[in-house]
Amino acid sequence: MAKGNPFGIHRVVEPLGVMPQAAKRLDNDMGSIRDNEILVDVERLNIDAASFTQLEEEGERDTTKIAGLIKKIVKERGKMHNPITGSGGMFIGAVRQVGKDLASRDLKPGDKIASLVSLTLTPLALKRIKKIDLEKDQVEVEGQAVLFESGVYAKLPADLPDRLSLALLDVAGAPAQTARLVKPGDAALVIGGGGKSGLLCLYEAKKRAGVTGRVIGLGHSASSTERIRESGFADLAIQGDASKPLEVYEKILEVTDGKLMDVTINCVNVPGTEMASIMSTREGGIVYFFTMATSFTAAALGAEGIGKDVNMIIGNGFAKGHDRIAFELMRESPKLRALFERMFL
């Protein structure tokens, strides 16, 4: 079949003229792919944490109801793009067909890959939902997806279980960005530090801040705070609710002798935590919003409202080489790997 647009614009059904990510609906016909598309038999979806939390709430933690919500979204939109949170996730699967224009790629039918582009722009058709894992935000499915010519993917490494790789790749942008932001001697705070991206960021932040720096992990529940403590990646683990900015601010003031943080990384999966991040950061410091529940308006107007001059960074899910960085973290730290195996296997 003819060549499609490299960014997948030929799959946009409505509204015409927008990119696939912004589209309300994509064409998810898997019958015949374009010469520059890749067709994949999808085995497992890793639903983005903010989206999964919303689906769990709407579906009252009932897997049949949640499956119904997922099927409805994919049927209506041709992609797993949660209309409420606006977020997606990613998939793993086996390559079924590589369009002839992409024949020079190191990819052949049967290769196991993970998508590194969001499900919010990936044409997806689901035949069946086999199982929903409420603890891991993962959904076993029978379905197919299309990757565009510009779509990035990772071949799954042989030395890591697929489920672990999927969990890792979902949040691989976070530790890669942390590595760029945290400098030797920095005081860094990871909000939601006991979660999936949070633990990776804590580990990377400590590595970068070094012995002269200080890393603080803020957990929410007692169990995630204990996970931070147990990891040993943070110099200090504290418990708090990031949707209560004043409480968090006062704690951070106290434990930093009023200096606040040089870098704050927000890895929370619920809305309303912008101000805790901004207030915990010193003048001229950096706030990195990895969370998809971030409101641009709340962050921008909130910082202005308290006269706080901080550099705020949107958590781009993609950073060059982030997949290899994330896999390498598992090999580098047996402790991190053990924690992830416990959480995701």
Q: How far is the CB of 315 from ligand NAP (least distance, A)?
A: 3
165 in contact with ligand NAP (CB under 6 A): no
* Element housing 66 (H / E): helix 63-77
Closest among 73, 233, 45, 234 to 140, alpha carbons compared: 45
**Contact track, ligand NAP, 193-222, x by CB under 6 A:** -xxxxx-------------------xxxx-
Closest among 204, 249, 247, 203 to 228, alpha carbons compared: 203
Closest among 180, 111, 149, 216 to 321, alpha carbons compared: 180
Identify which of residues 70 and 98 has a Cβ nearer to ligand NAP in the complex.
70
**Contact track, ligand NAP, 32-51, x by CB under 6 A:** ----------------xxx-
Residue type for position 209: A
Using the rule CB under 6 A, which residue among 224, 231, 264, 281 binds ligand NAP?
224
| Residues linked to residue 217 through DSSP beta bridges, in sequence order | 190, 237
Task: Give the count of beta carbons closer than 10 Å to the beta carbon of residue 210.
Answer: 14
Exposure letters 231-249 (e unless 16+ CB within 10 A, then b): bebbbebbbbbbbebeebb
Using the rule CB under 6 A, which residue among 124, 317, 329, 339 binds ligand NAP?
317
Q: How far is the CB of 140 from ligand NAP (least distance, A)?
A: 18
Of residues 247 through 286, those in contact with ligand NAP by CB under 6 A are 267-270, 273
Of residues 95 through 154, those in contact with ligand NAP by CB under 6 A are none
Q: Contact region for ligand NAP (CB under 6 A) — 4-12, 66-74, 143-151, 241-249? A: 241-249
Residue type for position 286: I
Contacting residues toward ligand NAP, per CB under 6 A: 48-50, 87, 170-171, 173, 191-192, 194-198, 218-221, 224, 241-243, 267-270, 273, 290-293, 315, 317
